[in-house]
Chains A and B, each alone.
Chain A
Amino acid sequence: MNSLVLNEELSQLSLLVIYAAMAIFTLAFFVSGYHLSQAASTKDKNLKTVSVLERVALALALLGTLILAAGVIMRGIAAARVPWANLFEYSITGALILMIIFFISIRAKEVRILATFVVGFVLLVLGTAVSIFYVQVASLMPALQSYWLVIHVMVALLASGFFSLAAALSVAYLLKTANWVEKGKTKGIRNFKKVMEVFPTKEKLEQLAYRFNIVGFILWSFTLIAGAIWAERAWHRYWGWDTKEVWTFIIWTIYAGYLHANATRGWSGKRAVWLGLIGFAAVVFNFTFVNMFFKGLHVYSGL
């Protein structure tokens, strides 16, 4: 006989902690945005203030990450299992993983400059999680009681984290190379162009995006294989074109196309960057719409 003990009070507390993390992330977002605008407009003499601003923004983001980590761990303890078994938990753990990957990567200063994008995206994910995806702690349905839950979902979240950072770099690339920005006519656009000049060169952005996408692609391939192994154990077949399997396949294929595009004359550069972003759009679609509205065996959103 199972004797599972859920701790709903701790789960409520975990939610409060996540709200606190969001508050800190919001601060980090504004300071980081302010840093970008200062860096764009400053002359050399103010460089010190600028780098202080950047450090404050990153410190706030780090604080937010630590608080978020506490919230995620509390949620796991409250549910007496890994905190990634429904859409709410995927989101908070996914946001945490993205922040961790970000902080591991910021040794490269080209990644550091993405702080505004990344923190903004994490805020969006957490906001959606607490407002739309929230569910109380519940036991794991028997179909999810497998160590493959730990592996398969964790690797999928890691892959999504790398894809997200690549997407942030790609967006920066597109903003930097967009015609309307380069030929900016209004004052607003000219100022925006100055902000984009703070970002690395377009070659560097493209190259970094490619590297993050490569790691994401490898992890996604592993997610697919691990999912098939688990599907064989749980559902008697390794592949059955379940909606979630279909979308995992679609995402894999788009990113495979992206890798080919980078080696195809006439397709590298802007077109490849767009392809990578289409892949990321498919990741987001799979995570939200497919989880919530599509019929299939992966009905684990908890909603």
Chain B
Amino acid sequence: MSSSQRYESPDIGLTGWARWIWRQLTSMRTALLLLLLLAAAAVPGSIYPQRSADPNGVVQYFRNNPDLAEILDVFQLFDVYTSVWFSAIYILLFASLVGCVLPRTQIHFDALRAEPVQTPTNLSRMPVYESTASPKGLDPVELGKNILSKQRYRIAQRGDSISAEKGYMRETGNLVFHFSLVGVLLAVGIGGGFSFSGQRVLAEGDTFVNNLAGFDSLSPGTFFNPETLAPLSLTLENFEVDYDFLNKTNIGAPLDFRATVTVRTPADQKGTTHLVRVNQPLDATGASVYLTGHGYAPEITIRDANGDISYSGATVFLPQDSKMTSIGIIKVPDNLPEQLGIVAFFYPTASELESGAFTSIFPGVIDPLLSMNVYTGDLGLDSGIPLNVFALDTDRLTQVAGRGTENPGLEIKLGETADLPNALGTVTFDGIKRFASLDIAYNPGQFWVLLFSLLALAGVIISLTTPRRRVWVKKLGDSFEVAALSKRDDPRLEEFVRELTKAIRNG
């Protein structure tokens, strides 16, 4: 580059640059671009599964497309809404918002105290303008002043004219809207930090104690303190489901889920009974309890060859379809000659397929059946690695009953007992309980999020529906002029000026 072509920029220094960047950031155009960027940046989160909303989907994605998933993960496409780039956009947007709104607040405060502007010399240049003869013997300016002050205009009289203004609420609403959005953001952030949500599966009769050990899984916020968990226990007394028996096209559809729970606190040792339903959580002090899932927990007893009990209890079976065919895993590490693993299927209303396999044809209990594939060997429980209770690792197990072995799978009806192969013992199907999946959650920020959201809504409604008007009435000899100007959209401005002129004209 030759020196003659070089563009000599004035040396504005560091503060000059900072000021320039700030002015760019707080310009309307930047705000607009950041808004559109934010909308675009939110899209990938609906295309790729997100760890926050759908963790299993992410695992599945890694399994199906391992190479692509690695790359996507580098760009945080499974954590879009907490990603660096998404955060950068909204932080910039809010910086821009604050930088834009603060000076406007100052200007608005000044405007609220200031007198209406001077009457322009040439009113006919205004967007809406009328001029007609004055009423006989009356002062049109005085008449206009009376009418406008009744409509709560702020009025300044200057010689033969008045200048009136109204609609300051437009900007007030606008500012309230933008400040409330900052409030929403802060409430979401701070509230999220102090929040927690935990999951717990309870079979009928089981009790949950609200402490860290009580949860099956827990997602705490950054500042969550387990000491603050409310001292309470919750017992699932029973769980009822209504299925549709009546309507031919709708048979088996769930109509209602009802969990009856008893909550005990130090102050209420006897406990209080509540009904928890979907859409009807239990709001206890310091946490709410939500019903998020359900299923069957068949009661199974396993005895050794001597008839001594080696396993007994209600076991949670995970539902697989809408007819509640469910799969459960039973692990018996002790009290038997060999470690025993069972993959069990539960059919609340069993029906045999042509292949000889079973399926459930109705989600309620009409003709229940348990079928089991039995494994012996090493359950892998001694390795110290925590294992999924809903999966059986068959690597070091040998299947001894079920498809592919010489022993058929066990099929047990309610109340019946079946023999385990190799004279290991017996399995009894004692009864059927239901289980409920409960979410125990607390978010101290949500009240504030709602409050600021409603404030923002009120602000935007006021701002978008209040016209900001300037109106002038001026006496010109025997006639008078009326003119008006509105900031932005004002559907009724013309009509307003016409009627004001008519009212003055008619005295």
Q: Complex: how many Å from CA A23 to CA B244?
A: 36
Q: Complex: how many Å from CA A233 to CA B73?
A: 32
Determine the chain B residues whose CB is within 8 A of the CB of A246 once the complex forms: 42-43, 45-46
Q: Please determine whether B279 and A295 come into contact, CB atoms closer than 8 angstroms.
A: no
B399 CB, min distance to chain A CBs, angstroms: 34
Q: Please determine whether B255 and A4 come into contact, CB atoms closer than 8 angstroms.
A: yes
Q: Is A254 an interface residue (CB 8 A)?
A: yes
Q: Complex: how many Å from CA A263 to CA B32?
A: 10
Q: Complex: how many Å from CA A256 to CA B37?
A: 12
Which residues from 253 to 303 on chain A have a C-beta closer than 8 Å to any C-beta of chain B? 253-254, 256-257, 259-267, 275, 290, 294-296
Per-residue CB contact flags for chain B residues 359-389 toward chain A (1 = under 8 Å, else 0) read 0000000000000000000000000000000
Partner of B457, one of A222, A259, A262, A275: A222
Q: Please determine whether A249 and B254 come into contact, CB atoms closer than 8 angstroms.
A: no
Partner of B197, one of A1, A233, A234, A237: A237
Q: Is B249 an interface residue (CB 8 A)?
A: yes
Determine the chain A residues whose CB is within 8 A of the CB of B197 once the complex forms: 236-237
Determine the chain B residues whose CB is within 8 A of the CB of A243 once the complex forms: 46
Determine the chain A residues whose CB is within 8 A of the CB of B454 once the complex forms: 225
Q: Given A218-B461, A236-B197: A241 and B50 within 8 A (CB)?
A: yes
Q: Given A8-B248, A238-B449: A250 and B42 within 8 A (CB)?
A: yes
Q: Please determine whether B488 and A263 come into contact, CB atoms closer than 8 angstroms.
A: yes
Per-residue CB contact flags for chain B residues 40-78 toward chain A (1 = under 8 Å, else 0) read 001101100110111001000000000000000000000
Q: Please determine whether A256 and B35 come into contact, CB atoms closer than 8 angstroms.
A: yes
A side interface size, CB within 8 A: 63
Which residues from 112 to 163 on chain A have a C-beta closer than 8 Å to any C-beta of chain B? 136-139, 141-143, 145-146, 148
Q: Complex: how many Å from CA A221 to CA B461?
A: 10
Partner of A146, one of B249, B279, B453, B456: B279
Which residues from 195 to 236 on chain A have a C-beta closer than 8 Å to any C-beta of chain B? 207, 210-211, 214, 217-218, 221-222, 225, 228-230, 232-236
Max chain B CB contacts within 10 Å: which of A5, A232, A247, A275?
Answer: A232
Q: Complex: how many Å from CA A3 to CA B246?
A: 8
Q: Is B81 an interface residue (CB 8 A)?
A: yes
Across the two chains, which residue of chain B brings its CB closest to A234? B279
Determine the chain A residues whose CB is within 8 A of the CB of B469 once the complex forms: none
Q: Please determine whether A145 and B279 come into contact, CB atoms closer than 8 angstroms.
A: yes
Q: Complex: how many Å from CA A285 to CA B225?
A: 42
B279 CB, min distance to chain A CBs, angstroms: 4
Binds A, one of B153-161, B209-217, B349-357, B438-446: B438-446
Q: Please determine whether B29 and A4 come into contact, CB atoms closer than 8 angstroms.
A: no
B434 CB, min distance to chain A CBs, angstroms: 15
Determine the chain B residues whose CB is within 8 A of the CB of A263 once the complex forms: 28, 488
Q: Please determine whether A240 and B35 come into contact, CB atoms closer than 8 angstroms.
A: no
Q: Complex: how many Å from CA A139 to CA B242?
A: 12
Q: Please determine whether B489 and A236 come into contact, CB atoms closer than 8 angstroms.
A: no
Partner of B247, one of A5, A222, A230: A5
Q: Please determine whether B39 and A142 come into contact, CB atoms closer than 8 angstroms.
A: no
Determine the chain B residues whose CB is within 8 A of the CB of A230 once the complex forms: 279
Q: Given A236-B281, A237-B197: A260 and B250 within 8 A (CB)?
A: no
Q: Please determine whether B49 and A141 come into contact, CB atoms closer than 8 angstroms.
A: no
Determine the chain A residues whose CB is within 8 A of the CB of B450 once the complex forms: 225, 228-229, 238
Per-residue CB contact flags for chain B residues 280-297 toward chain A (1 = under 8 Å, else 0) read 110000001010100000
Q: Please determine whether A235 and B292 come into contact, CB atoms closer than 8 angstroms.
A: yes
Determine the chain A residues whose CB is within 8 A of the CB of B281 once the complex forms: 233, 236
Partner of B35, one of A142, A236, A247, A257: A257
Q: Is A242 an interface residue (CB 8 A)?
A: yes
Q: Is A6 an interface residue (CB 8 A)?
A: yes
Determine the chain A residues whose CB is within 8 A of the CB of B488 once the complex forms: 262-263
Q: Is B112 an interface residue (CB 8 A)?
A: no
Per-residue CB contact flags for chain B residues 453-469 toward chain A (1 = under 8 Å, else 0) read 11011001100110000
Q: Please determine whether B489 and A210 come into contact, CB atoms closer than 8 angstroms.
A: yes
Q: Please determine whether A2 and B249 come into contact, CB atoms closer than 8 angstroms.
A: no
Q: Please determine whether B31 and A295 come into contact, CB atoms closer than 8 angstroms.
A: no
Determine the chain B residues whose CB is within 8 A of the CB of A290 once the complex forms: 46
Determine the chain A residues whose CB is within 8 A of the CB of B35 once the complex forms: 253-254, 256-257, 260
Which residues from 163 to 179 on chain B have a C-beta closer than 8 Å to any C-beta of chain A? none
Q: Please determine whether B29 and A264 come into contact, CB atoms closer than 8 angstroms.
A: yes
A282 CB, min distance to chain B CBs, angstroms: 8
Partner of A221, one of B244, B292, B441, B460: B460
Q: Please determine whether B247 and A232 come into contact, CB atoms closer than 8 angstroms.
A: no
Determine the chain A residues whose CB is within 8 A of the CB of B267 once the complex forms: none
Partner of B453, one of A138, A141, A228: A228
Q: Given A139-B247, A207-B489, A241-B50: A260 and B31 within 8 A (CB)?
A: yes
Q: Is B128 an interface residue (CB 8 A)?
A: no
Which residues from 110 to 146 on chain B have a C-beta closer than 8 Å to any C-beta of chain A? none
Q: Is B38 an interface residue (CB 8 A)?
A: yes
Q: Complex: how many Å from CA A4 to CA B49?
A: 37
B277 CB, min distance to chain A CBs, angstroms: 7
Q: Complex: how many Å from CA A242 to CA B45?
A: 9
Q: Is B278 an interface residue (CB 8 A)?
A: yes
Binding site for A on B (CB under 8 A): 28-29, 31-32, 35-36, 38-39, 42-43, 45-46, 49-50, 52-54, 57, 80-81, 188, 197, 242, 244, 246-250, 253-257, 277-281, 288, 290, 292, 439, 441, 443, 446, 449-450, 453-454, 456-457, 460-461, 464-465, 488-489, 491
Name 21 A/B residue pairs within 8 A (Cβ), A-sorted: A2-B244, A138-B253, A142-B256, A142-B257, A142-B277, A142-B278, A207-B489, A207-B491, A217-B464, A221-B460, A225-B450, A228-B449, A235-B290, A236-B292, A237-B443, A246-B46, A249-B39, A249-B42, A254-B39, A260-B35, A264-B28
Binding site for B on A (CB under 8 A): 1-6, 8, 136-139, 141-143, 145-146, 148, 207, 210-211, 214, 217-218, 221-222, 225, 228-230, 232-243, 246-247, 249-250, 253-254, 256-257, 259-267, 275, 290, 294-296
Q: Which 5 A-B pairs have the closest CB atoms?
A: A253-B39, A257-B35, A142-B278, A236-B290, A2-B255
Q: A4-B255, A6-B249 are in contact. List 18 more A-B contacts (CB 8 A).
A: A4-B246, A4-B247, A5-B246, A138-B253, A141-B254, A146-B279, A214-B465, A221-B457, A221-B460, A225-B457, A233-B279, A238-B443, A241-B53, A246-B45, A250-B43, A253-B35, A253-B39, A257-B35
